[in-house]
Structure 1
Amino acid sequence: MEISRNDVDFYEKIRPVLQSKVEEFILLGYDSVTEQDIWDYLVNKKWKKDKVDLMLFEVVQEIFSLKIGDFMNYTTVEALKESSFTLENEEDRLELLK
């Protein structure tokens, strides 16, 4: 089974597992993480290169083994990709020095 971001049926099956991981992250102090954020990380980062079929237990295992550091690294990189900050802009460089 190839997993995509729009795979609603599969997403609904593992939603309780995603909720459990969200609750874990909240206990660690990361209360802005959502189920959809974790799902996006898994689909866009973890499973992006894997074109093999994943069994349900493998997906659950991937979610439960997700570390907050890996998730936050991904989130940071994605935020930087979307940022309009450049060192070529004089105002941005001055803002960095404040």
Structure 2
Amino acid sequence: MPREFGRLFTHMLPAIESKKTEFHLYGYTTVTEEDIWTFCVKKKWRKKNIEEMGMHEIADGILKITSAEFMTFTQIEEQRSSNWFSDLNSEELQILLSPRQIEK
């Protein structure tokens, strides 16, 4: 993350903390400030040049995040990063991925 993002994060911390508190009230108690910022950078502003955005636009974007869009993003990111077969050893993985032989 570029240094400017860290500076923006610090400036936007009151808005981010407000959004985190809102999510906690909805029962999403594991959401952190970093999670909200990551959502904004990776999803909400992915096609924008954040360095050219006004502070009011950034704060408004943070405060308008809905729990539904945030949780959808979080679930998709989790699915992308998880390794569903990590508990299998190589033999078990080979059995799982090899074609089944049909018995006659």
- Are 2:11 and 1:25 aligned? no
Mapping of 1:1-98 within 5 angstroms?
4=1, 6=3, 7-51=5-49, 53-85=52-84, 90=96
Task: Output the TM-score relative to the length of structure 1.
Answer: 0.79
**How many residues in Structure 1 have an aligned counterpart in Structure 2?**
86
Any conservation in 2 of the 1:5–1:43 contact (CA below 8 Å)?
no
For 2:49 and 2:25, locate their aligned partners in 1 and report how far apart those are by CA, in whole Å: 33
For 1:11 and 1:83, locate their aligned partners in 2 and report how far apart those are by CA, in whole Å: 27
Q: How big is the shift at 1:51?
A: 2.8
CA RMSD of aligned residues (A): 1.9
Q: Which runs of 5+ in 2 are unaligned?
A: 86-92, 97-104
For 1:64 and 1:9, locate their aligned partners in 2 and report how far apart those are by CA, in whole Å: 18
The higher relative CO (CA closer than 8 Å, separation ≥ 6) is in 1
Q: Give structure 1 regions of 4+ aligned residues with deviation exceeding 3 angstroms.
A: none
Letter matched to residue 80 of structure 1 = Q
For 2:49 and 2:58, locate their aligned partners in 1 and report how far apart those are by CA, in whole Å: 14
